[in-house]
Every structure is written in structure tokens, then in C-alpha cells.
Amino acid sequence: MTLQQPTISSLIALLLLGSGCSKNDNYSEYPSYQEGNVYIRAYQNGETSVPDFSTKTVIGGESLDKTDWCELDQIMIYYKPAESAEPLSSQLFSFYRPYPDETLFSATMPAQPETNYTYYGAYPSPESIDGTHVTYTLPALQDGSYDMRNYDITDPNTYDSYKGNLDIMIADPQTASALHNGETLGMNFHHQCHVLRIQVPTGRNQWGENVQKLRIEFPTAVVGKMELDLTNPTAIPTLTEGSNTINVELKEPLTESEEDAANGCYVWVFICPTTVNGTIRFTAY
């Protein structure tokens, strides 16, 4: 891994994490179950109980290894009668209530005929779907923030600009009966991207200036159109229209901070999971 001039010492770590935000940890202030709604319990790692919000979408925790769903997040649920060749129906579920071991999403669904269904889940809502294959764009221009947030959580007038972030997730398919009012289905979501964490540890900025932009060149394509299979959430995504260069226009300058500090200054870059053999070049501006 090399660093082009002007030089700046940096610490880089690959993480498999998620991205989102919950501004309220007082769970009693969120609504309880409501008549007319059905619910999705979103969790991770095949468990129905995962401590400390380990699935979801804003980075945190003392070791920067915890993530939370954002109160504006929505997940897309697809479903069809089990074992049938029917096309998928879809329903958008919205963030409803967080818990320490899972987060509840809710929707008002149309009545389903009584039979077993296969349910699939994706976050955020895909750009397109073909059969059980969904497509997202992992952009070559990123802003260095973990959630690509373009809204103010205190200003409801800005909420419409939030369309989810780059922490793409696909859920394990679930077979269950028709969902009726007040019923809940648990789904286990898998993160689909790798994340670069870039930091300038205190005392190691040889350039002497704060970084406003980064150009990162990989020896292989790492961004572009990502196609994922809803039936196989652990499969490696297919990347097309790929680019090996990512430009990062930072919302906030990259400054020195204590190494690995929870409140440190970091740049986060999302890439498609792939084998990277060779030199990664960084140019700082």
C-alpha cells in the first residue's frame, strides 16, 4: 500500500459493519404495537437477541464496532407464496421502535390469502429488481461519512432527502404463514459492503494541513453497479460498470485525532467485497 505526494500518514482498517442513527435511546418514548400494523424484527447473525445494536445503520461504540438503525430508515420486504413461481410482491416497512437486541419496523399490509409465504428483505430499497436479483449503485464519489446523511434529524422538513445509505443489507429468506394485524416476523440481515476506515493519528500528519479531498486508486474495480441475490444473502455481489477509483469529497476536513478513539475524526469509504491484490494509492488534497 503506497501513499502519493503530498504525503500524509494514515491508519486504515477494513471493517464489516453497518451504518444509521437513533437519536433517542429512551425506548418507552416510542410507540407500542398498534392495531392494523404488521412488524419485522431486524437482527443479525442468526440470533433473535443480539446485544448493543450490532446490526443497523450509524457507527458508534467505544471500539467503533456498534451500529444503529436510523429513525428514517426503511426496509423493503418482498414475498410470494412458498414454492410458487409467482413474481414477488413488495412492501416498504418503516422504522418503528428500537430495542437493545433488535429494531422493529412496521407497515400496513394488504390482506394475504392463507398459505405459507417466502419473505425476503433488503436495505435500503433497491434501485431495481429482476426476479430475485436486486441492484444498487455503489458510487465512485462519496462524502466520507458513515451514513451519507443529507438531512438534519432535528428538522422534519429535510427528511425526504434521506434515501438510506451505503450500508447495503440483504436478509436471510424466511418461510412463514400470512402476516395478520399485530403479528411479527423476525429477519436476519447481512451487511454486503466492506468499509475502509481512514484516520490521521495524532502527531502523524507529515503534510501539516487538514485533508479536504481524497483520491483512492485500487488495483481492481471496487465500486459500480452491485447485483445481489435475495435468495442467497451471503453470496459475493456481482459488480458491473466498475471503477477502481474513488473520489472522496469530505463534508468535514480530516484532522488528526487519537488513534481508534470513539470520537475521533475518520473517513469512511464503502467498497464492494473483492480480493485486492496490489498497491492502493492515496492522494490527499
Q: What is the DSSP string of 59-97?
A: EESTTS-EE---TT-EEEEEEEETT--PPPEEEEEEEEE
> 3-class DSSP state for residue 17?
coil
Residue 6 has, within 13 A of its CA and on its CB side, a CA count of 12
Higher pLDDT, 280 or 165: 280
Whether the predicted pLDDT of 248 surpasses 70 = yes
* Alpha-carbon gap, residue 214 to 38, rounded angstroms: 44
H/E stretch holding 217 reads strand 211-217
- Angstrom CA distances, 284 to 138, 180, 269, stand at 22, 54, 14
User: Is the predicted pLDDT of residue 11 greater than 60, yes or no?
Assistant: no
Q: How high is the pLDDT of residue 158? A: 72
> Residue 87: is the preceding peptide bond cis (ω within 30°)?
no
pLDDT, tens digit, 9 for 90 and up, residues 17-47:
333 333 333 334 444 444 457 788 886 544 3
pLDDT in tens, 126-167: 999 999 999 999 999 999 887 666 666 677 777 776 666 788
Range in 44-48, 150-154, 226-230, 254-258 with the lowest mean pLDDT: 44-48
Q: What is the mean pLDDT of the chain?
A: 79
Higher pLDDT, 201 or 29: 201
pLDDT at 107 over 50: yes
Cis-peptide, bond into residue 156, ω within 30° of zero: no
**Closest by Cα among 105, 113, 106, 93 to 35:** 106
Tell whether the model's pLDDT for residue 241 goes beyond 50: yes
Cα→Cα distances 78→84, 88, 132, 152, Å: 14, 6, 9, 30
Distance CA 272, CA 77 (A): 23
Mean pLDDT check: name the lowest of 7-11, 147-151, 171-175: 7-11
Is the pLDDT at 228 greater than 90, yes or no?
A: yes
Range 73-80 average pLDDT = 94
Give pTM, 2 decimals: 0.80
- Residue percentage of the chain with pLDDT more than 90: 44
